[in-house]
Each structure stands twice: as C-alpha cells, then as structure tokens.
Amino acid sequence: MATMEAEGGGGGGGFPYWTSVRRRFDPDSAFFSSGNVERELLAKQVALDITEDERYQLQNLMDEESRGVFCPIVGCGAHLTSLENFEDHYNARHTASCSVCSRVYPTSRLLSIHVSEAHDSFFQAKVARGFAMNECLVESCGSKFKTYKARQRHLIDKHKFPTSFEFYKKALPSRKQRQKNQRKQVTHKKEVAPSAMEVENEAVDELVSAVSKLSTSDSPTSISFGRRHTRGLPFVPRAIQRERT
Amino acid sequence: MADDASLLRRDPIKSSVGNVAAQRRRRQAVAVGKERRESLVRAKRFCRIGVSGSANGEGDGEGDGDGDVSPDIDMVVDEEQSVLEAQTSSAVEELKAAIAYQGKGAMQKRVSALRELRRLLSKSEFPPVEAALNAGAIPILVQCLSFGSPDEQLLEAAWCLTNIAAGKPEQTKALLPALPMLIAHIGEKSSLPVAEQCAWALGNVAGEGEELRNILLSQGALLPLARMMLPNKGSTVRTAAWALSNLIKGPDSRGATDLIKIDGVLDAIVRHLKKADEELATEIAWVVVYLSALSNFATNLLVKNDVVQLLVERLATSSSLQLLIPVLRGLGNLVAGDTNTTHTLLLPGSEVTDGVVKVVVKCLKSEHRVLKKEAAWVLSNIAAGSVEHKRLIYSSEALPWLIRLVSSAPFDVRKEVAYVLGNLCVGPTEGDARPYLIQEHLVSLVGGGCLSGFIDLVRSADTEAARVGLQFIELVLRGMPNGEGLKLVEREDGIEAMERFQFHENEDLRNMANGLVDKYFGEDYGDDELAG
C-alpha cells in the first residue's frame, strides 16, 4: 500500500509532524479503484448504453463497498453508508452537551453522570454522607464508589483505562467565552434540577480544583478499553476491528 | 447459475400468480441488477461484432454499432432466456455431430455449427455461457482449434471462447484446457484476424485474476502477445496491447519486468505514444501504467526514453477521458516511483517540468473526479521534492485551484489536495529531524482560506484524513506568526473538532488531538479575553 508519512518528531508520544514524502501506490491499491472502474465503464459504454446516471451510481457503489464506515466514537459502532453521512450522525448522536458548563459528551449517559457529579448539590450532599454515588463509566458494570478517586482506580484496574484518563477534565476557560456567543445552539439534552442551576461557576471551579488530579500537561487524556468482545459495553471498540485505513 | 435458472423458471402450480410473479420479477431485477453491475466493472470484454476483416464484415470488436449484429441488449425476460439456453445446448450438440461427421462438406458443416453457437453467445447482455459449458462446449471448441484447421473455423471457435471467458470467474476458469492452443495461434504464422481473436480470449482470461495470469505467463503467452504489439497500426495491435495490460497487471511484477525486456517493445511503446490514434494510445498507456507501477527497471528505461515528454504531450492535446486517465496515472507512477525522475528529470525551471505541471493542472481543473484526484496526487509528489519544486507549484496557476478544491471538492479529491498544500508548507525531509516550516507558503495558504477544509478533514470518519488534518493544524498553530494560528483555528471551530477525539477510539488520533489542545489551548488560553 501507500508509503505514508514517516513518523516525525522523535519517539512514541511525540507529535507526528507533517513530513513531505512521495507516496507510491501499488496498482491494485484502493486508491486506483475508481479510475479502474471508470476505465471499464467507458470501454463498455457504447455497447451497453450505460447512462450518466448509472455510471455515477456505480462509482458511488464501488466506493461504499470499499468504505462502509463505522462510527469511530467510543461505544457507538454505528455503520454509516458513506463518509458524508458521518457528520449528520455525529451531530444527531454524539453532541449531548451540558446546559450548565457546555461540556460535550458522546452519550447521554455520560452527560447524565457528568451533570450529577458536577452540578447537582443533592448529589454532593449524598456523597458527603457517605453514599457510593460515583458510577462506573462502563455501562454494564454497575459498580458505584464513594469517591471520584476510587472510581478512577476501578476504571484503571478493572477496565484498563489509561492512568491519565480524566473524566472530569477541566474545561478550557475560553470555552465559556465561546459558549456565551453560541448559547442558542446548545442543545438541552438533560433536564437540570433548579438547585443545580444555582451552583455558581465559582463553586464549580472549586470543585474542579479539588477533584482534578492532573493539570493539563503533557500526558494526553485518553480512553482505552478493556474487554473487546462483550456486547453492550459502551467502550468496546468493535469498530477498530472493522475499520480499514 | 442454478439460482438464476430457478429464478427464471415459471412455477405453474403455485396459486396467487400475481404476487409470486411480482416477487420473482423483483428478485430477478435485483439479480440482474447485481449481475449487470459486476459485469460492467470487470476487466473483460465481450466480443459482439468480431474482429476486423472477419467473416462478419467491418467493425472492430467493440462498441461500433456496425455489422449485422443488432445489439439485443435489453433485459432478457424469462422465456427469451430459457429459449436461448435451449438453443445453445442444441447448438453444442450440433457442433459435436459436425465434428464427428467425416463425409462430404464436413468443413462447411463445422463452420456453420460454430457460427450458430457463436451467434448465440454474442447477443444479449448475458449470453447463455452456462448452458454452453454444461453442454460440454469447451472440449469441442478445443478440438476445433487443432492445427491445420481452416481460418474460419479457428476464428469462430476463438470467438466462442472469448465470450465464454468474458463472464463470471468460474466460467473464465473453464477455459484452462483451451489455453495452450489459444497461445499457439497467436504466433506469427497465424492470420491476423485469428491471432487477434485468440489474443482477445487470452485477454479475458488474464483479466480474471492473478492465478490465471501466472498460468498464462508460465505457458509462454507474453512473448507472442508482445510481438503483436509491434506493428504500426491495426486493430490487432490494440487488442494485443489491451490483453498485455491485463496480463502484466500483477500483483506479481514478473510480467512487467519480462515485457520491457523483450526486443522491440520499448520502441513500440514510444512509437505508439507518439503517433498512434487515441484508441491505441489508450491501451498502450495502460501498459505503461502497469510497467511503471510494478517495475523500477521499466520505469528507468521509460524515463530515459523520453516517455515523460510523450505523456505530457498526450495530456496537453487530448480531451478523451479514456486516454487521459491512464496517461495521467502513468505519469504519476513515473514521478512517484523514482527519486531520479523528480531530481534529475524534473528539474525546476526546465521546460519538461513546466510542461508537466501545466498538464497536471489541466487535469486538476477537469470536471472528472478521477482526474482531479490523481492529478492532485501527482502534484503532491512533485511538491514533496526540493524547495524549488515547492516554489514552482506555489507560484503556478495550480494554487488558487488547490485552495478552492480543499474545501469544495468530493472527499477523495480533498484528501489528495490536502497533501499538496501540506507538502508546500514544509521543507524536504532530512533524516529524522522535524522538517522546517516554509512560513511564507503557510501564511499565504491560510490567508487564502484553506484552513476550514483541513478542519473538515479532521471531522471526517476517515482515519487518514483526520490525521492529515491534525498535522496541518499543528503547522498552523506552530507556524503562523504572532500566535495568529490559535485564533484562526478557534474561529473555524477547530478546537471543537479536536475535542471530539477525547472519546474517539483511535489512540493515535486521540493523542495527537489532545496533545494539541493541551499545548496550545491550555489553562492560559483566552485569559486576556476574560480579563478584558
């Protein structure tokens, strides 16, 4: 297949900077397939009376057959017939956003967990009284924990999350500014209890600094997945197995 | 095949004829639709009208519309198909009888029977190949190919075999027993029409797949076919070139390396590229495509013999999509395959180079998606050369097109254009060091509005595209003066696009995106805005 850009920028963990290299493709590479299809269609066109319409359809069919994209968002695995559909799918399914702090989550369940943990004073009250309120992020697990830290431990130990994963990532300050300008576009996916709305931004920030462990530094936040073959686990990367680069 | 037959058979016993019939028609329509699609994209070609000079009168084998065969190419209805199959079976039986017959007029009988079978195998979109095979056509046709047979007989038999081989994989494979004889008859001693028809059949067999190609090569098909390509003109040359392009397409490179070494082939290629009509030039161009893709040795020879210049001239003067596709691709393969080509031949400032860029840009401007995509690919490889090459493209008329295309073209075109633009912004790769930035180009491209196109690529579900987009964003963030890059990326919703990767399953992309967000849009970003 094609010789892609060499990994620049040093060893693993460094950013793979753009490198300008020649790319060569084998004759049976997918890169050339639409041209090959075109060749055969044109050769048969007059004899078989292929209409413009049919040619267009055929090209698209060939593309889809070799592409058939799977949604790469964690736990989704939805099959999309074309790349063009992906954006619509993403906007429809993966933009659950918090009406209080405008963070966006890829599933409504995660959004719900976030809202409870970050904006709900009843939730905080129960935590203070010793109830196990922090749910495991993996849907089918069902475990609950008394502290954020304990749940974090569980995610790392049991579900193989990377040690740098932060569910409660500090939002970019600029985001508040940006969202002020876009308030109308924010979708209200979760009904926030009135008392939660009273939780001031300052209180949230205090909560953030108390809870967050890592600063936004070199280690990237990331999610990876423990089990691969079980159904129903939201973080199973089925799409990784099917995805063709 | 059994499925098709059962779809087509009427079932008189079932009641509610209307519903059953409607369902059957629908299934049949789907089956025919799928079959049609598959047959349309095969690298095989039916012979409907016969090779020129054949008993059937004028017309080269394809698409001419002349000749006495009316293209009966509508969707075949139940009765017609089963009648056709029955007729085919009897035609094969007739032929068997004719072969067995030893008396007076035996040859005429044989040719008549062959002709009847050939006619049945040449009409309609889906000739009754299966019926012919089931009736035992292959052994009998092989017999008709025996040495010393009259030309008419050889021609008709080869024609039948051509069409049997033009369909589904199993049908093509059925020709195995016939291969040695077909190869034997493309020698110099055969009459031209016979040789051409046999070459056609072999071309179909080669078009089936790697396994059959290797068998043909082992049986020695390459040399005689190559020789057929040497004369100056004639439909035989064209058919042979087409068959060769199928034969050497690999993925094994031995066909390609062997072909270029045959005496006279290189010269013929050069000659045809220079002077042949567009139809012949098209097939020759495809031969060049496979030679240049599979054999470095061939690439070197082609470049040394000025093939690049010939390809450029064809691109400049032709408007036939059929010709432009392989010529452009051949040029692309030559540029991609060999550092020598870009460094020694395509010297920036030379006439050759200017010519190349000009015709490639012409293809970039074409309305055909394939041409646009592959033209961008060629440009990206030229832009991967020296700084002078980058300057050359940057100051050419390609630039405004590229900037426009990265936002507005179909996805596969946009991705290739992105490679061109990115390559223009970084210096040549030297060892492991991070390439330096060509700020002038970057500023100009971003100023021209290309950033949104890259951010769109970041949002796509295609891993390669997202990676390319993120790499370019990194250049913008790092390389734009006065930290302008950050504001620009934000304005185009680039931060949003990158934050999507927090929950993306590809770890590399996650790390890339998160790394950028953490580094450039970290805690301090936007502080001055809030304070103000």
Which is more confident, A50 or A28? A28
Q: What is the pLDDT of residue B479?
A: 95
Alpha-carbon gap, residue A174 to A163, rounded angstroms: 27
In terms of pLDDT, which residue wins out, B101 or B63? B101
Nearest to A220 among B496, B510, B523 (CB): B510
Residue B528 has pLDDT above 60, yes or no: no
Q: What is the pLDDT of residue A163?
A: 63
pLDDT tens-digit profile of B274-316? 999 999 999 999 999 999 999 999 999 999 999 999 999 999 9
pLDDT the model gives residue B347: 85
Examine the pLDDT at B266 and tell me if it is beyond 60: yes
Least confident span in B61-75, B128-142, B256-270, B443-457: B61-75
CA distance A124 to chain B (A): 26
What residues contact residue B115 under an 8 Å CB cut-off, 6+ apart? B55, B156
Q: What is the DSSP letter of A100?
A: T
Whether the per-residue pLDDT at B154 is higher than 80: the answer is yes
- Closest residue on chain A to B386 (Cα): A20
* Residue A169 binned pLDDT confidence (cut-offs 50, 70, 90): low
Using the structure block, give the residue that is written with the tokens 């040497």. Answer: B230
Q: Taking CA atoms, what residue in A is nearest to B530?
A: A177
Q: What does the pLDDT average to over B186-199? A: 94
User: Is the Cβ pair B526, A13 closer than 8 Å?
Assistant: no
**At residue A133, does pLDDT exceed 80?**
yes
CA distance B463 to chain A (A): 6
Question: A163 touching B, CB under 8 A?
Answer: no
Searching chain B, which residue's CA lies closest to the CA of residue A77? B505
Q: What three-state secondary structure class fits A189? A: coil
Q: How far is CA B221 from its chain centroid?
A: 22
Is residue B496 a contact partner of residue B445, using CB atoms and an 8 Å limit? Answer: no
Find, in chain A, the residue whose alpha carbon is nearest to that of B493. Answer: A178
The residue ranking higher by pLDDT, B469 or A222, is B469
Q: Mutate which of A18, A64, A103 to disrupt the B interface (most B C-beta within 10 Å)?
A: A18
Higher pLDDT, B4 or A59: A59
Tell whether omega for the bond before A234 is within 30 degrees of 0, i.e. cis. Answer: no
Residue A185, pLDDT score: 46
Using an 8 Å CB-CB cutoff, list chain A residues near B257: none
Residue-level pLDDT at A173: 52
Dihedral angle, C-alpha B271, B276, B282, B286, nearest 10 °: -10
List CB contacts of B371: < 8 A, sequence separation 6 or more: B321, B324, B325, B328, B363, B364
| A-interface mutation test, from B502, B508, B521, most A Cβ less than 10 A away | B502
A143 pLDDT exceeds 70?
yes
Q: What is the ipTM of this complex?
A: 0.87
For the segment A125-136, the average pLDDT, to the nearest whole number, is 91
Distances (CA, A) of B50 to A44, B55, B121, B208: 15, 8, 12, 21
Non-local CB neighbours of B185 within 8 Å, separated by 6+ positions: B145, B154, B158, B194, B195, B198
Q: Given this model, what pLDDT does residue B290 score?
A: 97
Name the more confident of A234 and A123.
A123
The pLDDT score that the predictor gives to residue B34 is 77
Q: Hey, is A88 helix, strand or coil?
A: helix
Distance from CA of A137 to the nearest CA of B (A): 12
Contacts of B286 in chain A (CB under 8 A): 39
pLDDT 10s digits, A196-241: 333 344 444 444 444 443 333 333 333 333 333 333 333 433 333 3
Model confidence at B11: pLDDT above 60? no
Is residue B10 over pLDDT 80?
Answer: no
The answer to whether the CB atoms of A245 and B464 lie below 8 A apart is yes
Tell me: pLDDT of A187 over 80. Answer: no
8 Å CB contact of A220 and B380: no
Please say if the pLDDT value at position B193 is more than 70: yes
Direct distance between the N- and C-terminal alpha carbons of chain B, in angstroms, rounded to an integer: 76
pLDDT tier at B501, thresholds 50, 70, 90: confident
List C-alpha distances in Å: A121 to A128, A152, A191, A196, B100: 10, 21, 15, 6, 99
Q: What Cα–Cα distance (Å) separates residue B385 from each residue in A5, A178, B4, B403, B413?
A: 14, 41, 55, 20, 21
* Strands A79-80 and A96-97, bridge-based pairing: unpaired
B160 with B199: CB under 8 angstroms?
no
Mean pLDDT rounded to a whole number for chain B: 88
Q: Which of B40, B381, B523 to mutate to test the interface with A (most CBs of A within 10 A)?
A: B40
Across the A:B interface, residue pairs with CB atoms under 8 Å apart total 230
Average pLDDT (A56-85) is 74
By the CB < 8 Å criterion, does A88 face chain B?
Answer: no
Concatenated DSSP letters of A34-78: HHHHHHHHHHHHHHHT--HHHHHHHHHHHHHHHH-EE--BTTT--
Question: Residue A233: how many CA atoms within 13 Å on its side-chain side?
Answer: 16
Cα-Cα end-to-end distance for chain A? 10
- The least confident of A75-89, A202-216, B131-145, B295-309 is A202-216
Q: Which residue has the higher pLDDT, B69 or B500?
A: B500
Residue A77 pLDDT: 79
Q: Is the pLDDT of residue B120 over 70?
A: yes
Residues of B in contact with A37 (CB under 8 A): 41
Percent of chain B residues past pLDDT 90, beyond the cut: 70
Contacts of A214 (CB under 8 A, 6+ apart): A164, A166
- Looking at every residue in chain A, the average pLDDT score rounds to 68
Inter-chain CB proximity A220 and B514 less than 8 Å: yes
Assess whether pLDDT exceeds 60 at residue B65.
no
B529/chain A closest Cα distance in angstroms: 8
Split at pLDDT 50, 70, 90, the class of B321 is very high
Q: What is the Cα–Cα distance from B330 to B338, expressed in whole angstroms?
A: 13
Model confidence at A14: pLDDT above 50: yes
Average pLDDT for B429-435: 86
**What value does the mean pLDDT take over residues B425-448?**
93
Closest CA to B400 of B368, B440, B447: B447
Nearest CA in chain B to A245: B463
**Chain B residues within an 8 Å CB radius of A26:** 250-251, 293
Of A19-33, A223-237, B4-18, B411-425, least confident by mean pLDDT is A223-237
User: Phi first, then psi: what are they for A211, rounded to 5°?
Assistant: -90, -40
pLDDT (0 to 100) of residue B129:
94
> How confident is the model at residue B367, as a pLDDT?
93
CA distance A130 to chain B (A): 31
Question: Is B523 close to A170, i.e. CB distance below 8 A?
Answer: yes
pTM: 0.80
Q: What is the pLDDT of residue A202?
A: 41
Nearest CB to A177; choose among B71, B249, B529: B529
| For A24, nearest residue in chain B (alpha carbons) | B336
Q: Is the pLDDT of residue B178 over 90?
A: yes
Q: In this predicted structure, what is the pLDDT of residue A192? A: 40
